[in-house]
Chains A and B, each alone.
Chain A
């Protein structure tokens, strides 16, 4: 029995050592996508016309260091998702995507060392883009690899 106790205390000692040398700050929080202090764009249910420019604007913050972000736009003609927000936007009738269904997918870098960053991107909607319901996805990482997502339903009329 004595041996068990010795072993147990050895293990506990080992735990104690380990936790003490790792009080170094570990990044445990994902970055945040918000509209703090700015007019965010696009917002839920926003409508555009083919040929318009989407003036994307959101504020990114992280407690340690921001990483990169990505903007991806794809059609929701088949109503494949529920909206995550409180408002449910009005959907047009379901349809099959045609040749000119708009696809946009672009990765963006954030300058190193930033904790706050206001992203502005002007996204040109092609003149011949097929109209209908689209999803506007924003993905943001921090340096450690935590990720934050924001899905926005938009419409081309």
Chain B
């Protein structure tokens, strides 16, 4: 599998404007070394070939096969990315270099990007504040949708499905080039039914919930995406504009949403494909513009973007406590606009490669609905960096950089729309106070790449940061999703993280071995912790900051027994401890347990255009818990994957990819899943199939 990754890496390292098809099996040691020497950080590049051949149902599930990357299931068969245990606002998801801005703090908010429009991806593990600014603590998931077509007309149609939630989908792409001008367009349609779990009932909040046909009621949904891109590419000038829109609608598990475990009048079991209340819909509109100009020594790049993210969560209105029954079903609505601008300069000066840039971002968020969770806010930030990459010798490269950021957050006050009796008088309680905060951060990074014979060694040390989000600063109310009262802390400082990454790789013709340990320290990790107190009948959770130490590693080994048979094993481990505060001595919430994979792949031919493979995944038991978590047992699953490419007449190719997860239909819990807290097991046997035609 690592071979595929390397092939992927090399493929994407090729110039953007040419179509390169690399033979995955014959990657030479030299090419591999060149890629590893490109950055002192742990990074993995993933080509469209890899994405195609390893289709596992969704982009995040495909990427989950990379060591250190996890997909956090959020229900409805959707998932959000986690790198080395860091998710939510502790990693950056970027599309064509622009940070994706949705409501990524939310437990049940997914990627909101058309995964079938993605040409290639890159995962950076570790701090990447220098280039990405706030949030790039755990790492960066870069998605690229900007491949420039080389031919007058090229396209593809893919149909795909998976058995577990009876998902069916269609995605079509078309693109072409005439002279310097090019265009691309794509459309994706997905529809899925309620997802199935290997259990007849679940226990939640002291109630038993019986499931019909082992399906989670009302987790069906749909997704409609589309994009258009126009551009010009000349000898040293390139410009393009891409407009994309992504619409998703999905139901919430009807028995475990809202204030109480509800027995609604809605007949959820009527159909497994319809979406009833409660549900959410999200629309993400994005306009991206990229312009670059370059000559032999200098290149300049200007990126501009506008993003609009509208999300609504709707549920049956009910009275609760002092809140009367609201009018209408609109529980929550967020409308967030984000404006981004970035300017980059690169200059080649002898053995120095210098880079500098400035970027700024404005966000404007408005809320609506009868449920309060985050206040209205505006944020603005601006940052600048310089970076030098110094090639001392052909096999020894040093790099160092500095960055400064300034951010301003303005949170609006919010009062309940209903009165609560306090000491005999009716009071419209204030849930969020008007707040203005300024934050500054100074970050840096330094690294070294060294290669000797069959060894490549890398080390990187860096500081990253994260500006506290408005929810952390200003929330003060009941979280209607998980039955608790959450209170923000207006005094929070920017979260800072220091990390040392080391990467050691060794390879000969048959063996490839890689080990990537890291050590990470937070002087002020921000997290939500339960207290002994009650507020309005629900347990109070406070945002606090504590010192946190984390370390871990990923290791992998590949053995090419022959051109056809490949063996692969990989594993990862992460340790986390709170070193101060009320929960000193505890781990962090959602700590991932150790895991290991072992697999064998058989290639049908030397050109690696088809394979079949078996893989066993073993995950350890997790006893490192924080209230209100429960320990989670270990488990193992057996999985199968295969892909084959068929050359039809002329330039038409047919690709088939098959992925079967949990072949033995075992019942297990994933400690890092959103559904773990409500005792929902992971999906049972699931077969994903994709058939694509390229012309």
> Does A93 make an interface contact (CB < 8 A)?
no
> Does B206 make an interface contact (CB < 8 A)?
yes
Tell me whether B625 and A28 are in contact (CB under 8 A). Answer: yes
0 or 1 for each of B539-571: is its CB under 8 Å from A? (1 = yes):
100000000010101010000000000000000
Q: Can you pick out 10 interface pairs between chain A and chain B where the beta carbons lie within 8 Å of each other?
A: A4-B513, A7-B515, A10-B517, A11-B553, A18-B549, A18-B575, A70-B537, A70-B538, A144-B627, A145-B530
**Which residue on chain B has the smallest CB distance to residue A107?**
B534
Q: How many residues of B contact A (CB 8 A)?
A: 49
**List of B residues within 8 angstroms of A28 by Cβ:** 625
Tell me whether B321 and A74 are in contact (CB under 8 A). Answer: yes
0 or 1 for each of A133-153: is its CB under 8 Å from B? (1 = yes):
000010101111111011100
Tell me whether B207 and A82 are in contact (CB under 8 A). Answer: yes
Tell me whether A139 and B515 are in contact (CB under 8 A). Answer: no
Tell me whether B536 and A82 are in contact (CB under 8 A). Answer: no
**List of A residues within 8 angstroms of B551 by Cβ:** 11, 14
Point out the residue from A22, A24, A74 that lies within 8 Å of B320, measured CB to CB.
A74
> Does A3 make an interface contact (CB < 8 A)?
yes
Interface size band for A:
35 or more
Tell me whether A68 and B205 are in contact (CB under 8 A). Answer: no
Tell me whether B262 and A80 are in contact (CB under 8 A). Answer: yes
Q: Tell me the minimal C-beta distance from B456 to chain A in angstroms.
A: 11
Tell me whether A103 and B322 are in contact (CB under 8 A). Answer: yes
Tell me whether B207 and A151 are in contact (CB under 8 A). Answer: yes
Q: Tell me the complex Cα distance, A145–B542, Å.
A: 11
Given contacts A18-B575, A82-B263, contact A103 B515 (CB under 8 A): no
Q: Residues of B with Cβ closer than 8 Å to A?
A: 205-209, 260-264, 318-322, 325, 455, 457, 502, 504, 506, 513, 515, 517, 519, 529-539, 549, 551, 553, 555, 575, 577, 582-583, 585-586, 625, 627-628
Tell me whether B207 and A141 are in contact (CB under 8 A). Answer: no
> Does A102 make an interface contact (CB < 8 A)?
no
> Does A8 make an interface contact (CB < 8 A)?
yes
Q: Residues of A with Cβ closer than 8 Å to B?
A: 1, 3-4, 7-8, 10-11, 14-15, 18, 22, 24, 26, 28, 30, 67-70, 72, 74, 78-84, 97, 103, 105, 107, 137, 139, 141-147, 149-151
**List of B residues within 8 angstroms of A97 by Cβ:** 319, 325
Tell me whether A1 and B513 are in contact (CB under 8 A). Answer: yes
Tell me whether B539 and A7 are in contact (CB under 8 A). Answer: no
Residue from B262, B517, B532, B539 whose CB has the most chain A CB atoms within 10 Å: B532
Point out the residue from A1, A26, A142, A149 that lies within 8 Å of B586, measured CB to CB.
A26
Tell me whether B533 and A7 are in contact (CB under 8 A). Answer: no
Q: Tell me the minimal C-beta distance from B32 to chain A in angstroms.
A: 17
Given contacts A4-B513, A82-B209, A150-B206, contact A107 B262 (CB under 8 A): no
Tell me whether A7 and B320 are in contact (CB under 8 A). Answer: no
Tell me whether A68 and B206 are in contact (CB under 8 A). Answer: no
**Which residue on chain B has the smallest CB distance to residue A66?**
B532
For the complex with contacts A14-B551, A26-B585, A72-B537, 20 further pairs of A-B residues with Cβ separation under 8 Å are: A3-B504, A4-B506, A18-B575, A22-B585, A68-B533, A70-B534, A80-B264, A105-B537, A107-B533, A107-B534, A139-B539, A141-B530, A141-B534, A144-B583, A145-B532, A146-B627, A146-B628, A147-B530, A147-B627, A147-B628
Q: Tell me the minimal C-beta distance from A94 to chain B in angstroms.
A: 9
Q: Tell me the minimal C-beta distance from B273 to chain A in angstroms.
A: 25
Q: Tell me the complex Cα distance, A84–B262, Å.
A: 13
Q: Tell me the minimal C-beta distance from B633 to chain A in angstroms.
A: 16
Q: Tell me the minimal C-beta distance from A152 to chain B in angstroms.
A: 10
**Which residue on chain B has the smallest CB distance to residue A141?**
B532
**Which residue on chain B has the smallest CB distance to residue A135?**
B260
**List of B residues within 8 angstroms of A143 by Cβ:** 532
Q: Tell me the complex Cα distance, A150–B206, Å.
A: 7
Tell me whether A81 and B261 are in contact (CB under 8 A). Answer: yes
Tell me whether B206 and A15 are in contact (CB under 8 A). Answer: no
Q: Tell me the complex Cα distance, A79–B583, Å.
A: 39
**List of A residues within 8 angstroms of B538 by Cβ:** 70, 139
**List of A residues within 8 angstroms of B506 by Cβ:** 1, 4
Q: Tell me the minimal C-beta distance from A105 to chain B in angstroms.
A: 4
Residue from A10, A80, A143, A149 whose CB has the most chain B CB atoms within 10 Å: A80
Tell me whether B532 and A67 are in contact (CB under 8 A). Answer: yes
Given contacts A141-B532, A150-B206, contact A8 B515 (CB under 8 A): yes
**Which residue on chain B has the smallest CB distance to residue A81?**
B261
Q: Tell me the minimal C-beta distance from B588 to chain A in angstroms.
A: 14
Tell me whether A68 and B534 are in contact (CB under 8 A). Answer: yes
Q: Tell me the minimal C-beta distance from A116 to chain B in angstroms.
A: 16
**List of B residues within 8 angstroms of A149 by Cβ:** 205-206
Q: Tell me the complex Cα distance, A30–B625, Å.
A: 13
Q: Tell me the minimal C-beta distance from B646 to chain A in angstroms.
A: 41
Tell me whether B261 and A141 are in contact (CB under 8 A). Answer: no
**List of B residues within 8 angstroms of A82 by Cβ:** 207-209, 261, 263
Q: Tell me the minimal C-beta distance from B347 to chain A in angstroms.
A: 35
Q: Tell me the minimal C-beta distance from B184 to chain A in angstroms.
A: 44
**List of B residues within 8 angstroms of A150 by Cβ:** 206
Q: Tell me the minimal C-beta distance from B609 to chain A in angstroms.
A: 33
Q: Tell me the minimal C-beta distance from A87 to chain B in angstroms.
A: 13
Q: Tell me the complex Cα distance, A146–B539, Å.
A: 10
